[in-house]
Amino acid sequence: MAEMAPRRNLWQEKPDDARDRIPPMTQALHIRSYSGAGTLHDHDHAQLVLQMAGTLEIEVGGHGARLSQAVSAVIAPGEPHAQQGCGLNRSLVLDLPAAALPEGALDRRFLPVPEAARRLVEFADLSAATGTLPERVGGPLLRLLLDSLWQNARPCPFAPLEAAIRAEPALDWTVDRMARIAGMSRSALYRALAEARGTTPARLVTATRIALAQGALRQPGRSLAELAAELGFSDQAALTRAMRRETGRTPGAWRALWGTPGP
């Protein structure tokens, strides 16, 4: 995807407080605008994306959402993702080590933005518009953002279920099996997935398998027939159909995005 150069690097520092939970690494808080077609990529650090203005279409680990001032994205290290701007847009992007995030933060890809966090994003936006944010403010701002984002957040109820599917994607994932792992009844699982994700148990299994396929297609020479069997699809054609339906791209198109040769 075409990405504009960062408008402002607000801060770059290492913590000097031994009580700080953020381990040493080069950290950065940027303001960016996005446009053009999305390009799949990943990085070796965690990333938070919060909207200052406009909206941003984003796909993280095979799951899509539209970010706004009310919805943020949490991207784990190594997780494939791509963004595409919707008209004029401006995003606050935080690069930081995964260890800086609260426990369980990486269990969910999208997070509501509470009022306190929105105010902090507005503060960063106003500060960037009038000049560079002082370095001494950067660290406290990041910690305040983390605290405000997760202060009242509940653990993702689907994290154990998604982890189980990722561990054994070829299993016959019946609704009964999924409900037991999630600790819910069948009807409660259907209800919870519909309300939280707008999806169904079957679609959750498919989306998780497709996310695994996207990552596997980065490996040169992977046979689609072998990959389909590993992920629980009946054959190569079923994998191709599901990938096109879920992502709009075929396995060959994903290989082209990754720059990975086929078998």
Give the separation between CA 238 and CA 156, rounded to whole angstroms. 30
pTM value > 0.75: no
Whether 78 is in a domain gets the answer yes
Same domain, 207 and 78: no
Query: Do 54 and 139 sit in the same domain of this protein?
Result: yes
Contact between residue 127 and residue 133 where contact means Cβ atoms under 8 Å apart: yes
| DSSP 8-state secondary structure symbol assigned to residue 34 | B
In a shared domain, residues 207 and 135: no
Q: What is the pLDDT of residue 168?
A: 94
What tokens appear for 143 in the block? 């910690």
Instruction: Indicate whether 123 and 208 sit together in one domain.
Output: no
**H or E element in which residue 92 lies:** strand 81-96
Q: Say whether both 164 and 120 belong to one domain.
A: no
Please report which confidence band the pLDDT of residue 246 belongs to, taking 50, 70 and 90 as the band edges: confident
State phi, psi for 163 to the nearest 5 degrees: -65, -40
pLDDT at 99: 82
CATH number where 229 lies: 1.10.10.60
Specify the number of domains making up the chain: 2
What is the residue-averaged pLDDT of the chain?
79
Token digits for 10? 């607000």
65 and 127 inside one domain: yes
Check whether residue 14 and residue 69 sit in a common domain: yes
Domain boundary among 150, 169, 202: 150
Question: Which residue in this structure is represented by tokens 């053009």?
Answer: 36
33: domain range? 8-150
In a domain, 95, yes or no: yes
Q: Is residue 263 part of a domain?
A: no
Q: Which residues contact 86 (CB under 8 A, 6 or more apart)?
A: 54, 55, 56, 57, 66
One domain, residues 139 and 181: no
Q: Which of 111, 41, 48, 108 is nearest to 79 (CA)?
A: 41
The 8 Å CB, 24+ separation contacts for 162-171 are 162/204, 162/208, 165/204, 165/205, 165/208, 165/209, 166/208, 166/212, 169/205, 169/208, 169/209, 169/212, 169/230, 169/231, 169/232, 170/229, 170/230, 170/231, 170/232, 171/232
* 3 located within any domain: no
Are both 120 and 48 inside the same structural domain? yes
> What are the CA-CA distances from residue 79 to residues 16, 21, 42, 75, 111 (Å)?
29, 23, 6, 6, 16
- 68's tokens: 């706004």
Q: Please give the structure tokens belonging to residue 107.
A: 């269990």
Read off the CATH number of the domain in which 38 is found.
2.60.120.10
Split at pLDDT 50, 70, 90, the class of 21 is very low
Contacts of 263 (CB under 8 A, 6+ apart): 221, 222, 223, 224
142, part of any domain? yes
Last residue of a domain, which of 150, 170, 191? 150
The single residue listed with the structure tokens 């407080």 is 17
| 222 shares a domain with 112 | no
Euclidean distance between CA atoms 51 and 92, whole angstroms:
6
pLDDT, average across residues 143-168: 80
104 and 139 fall within a common domain: yes
Per the listing, tokens 């700080």 go with 20
229 token code pair: 């069997």
Per-residue pLDDT, averaged over 212-219, amounts to 82
Q: Packing angle between helix 251-258 and helix 236-247, nearest 10 degrees?
A: 70
Q: Which of 124, 150, 176 is the last residue of a domain?
A: 150
Do 82 and 200 share a domain, yes or no? no
Mean pLDDT of 183-191: 93
> pLDDT per residue over 95-135, tens digit each?
888 887 877 788 778 888 888 888 998 888 877 765 555 66
In a domain? residue 167: yes
